[in-house]
Amino acid sequence: MIAVLFILGIIFMFFAPPLGIILLVLGVVFLILKIVKKTGKAAVHLATQKTCPHCRSKISSKAVVCPVCQRDI
């Protein structure tokens, strides 16, 4: 959908510049929203994990004992 908005925006820039500009702006807005949505999920995922100081494996942030090396954290 984002690519279609960019392509239509470029095409309409020659025939109807105001409409072309609106389509390009919509494409940029949707692209930014898509990036923000992905970044937000990644930030939440990183907040729920931590690294074991002994074996360096990724574990739950609530873990008290590492499930890999069985050491206290």
**pTM, entire model:** 0.50
Specify whether the CB–CB gap between 73 and 64 falls below 8 A.
yes
Give residue limits of the domains in the chain.
2-60
pLDDT at 45: 61
Is the pLDDT assigned to residue 40 strictly greater than 90? no
Specify whether the CB–CB gap between 2 and 27 falls below 8 A.
yes
HEC string of the chain equals CHHHHHHHHHHHHHHCHHHHHHHHHHHHHHHHHHHHHHHHHHHHHHHCEEECCCCCCEEECCCCECCCCCCEC
pLDDT at 15: 87
Question: pLDDT (tens digit, 9 = 90+) per residue, 7-28?
Answer: 888 888 888 899 988 988 999 9
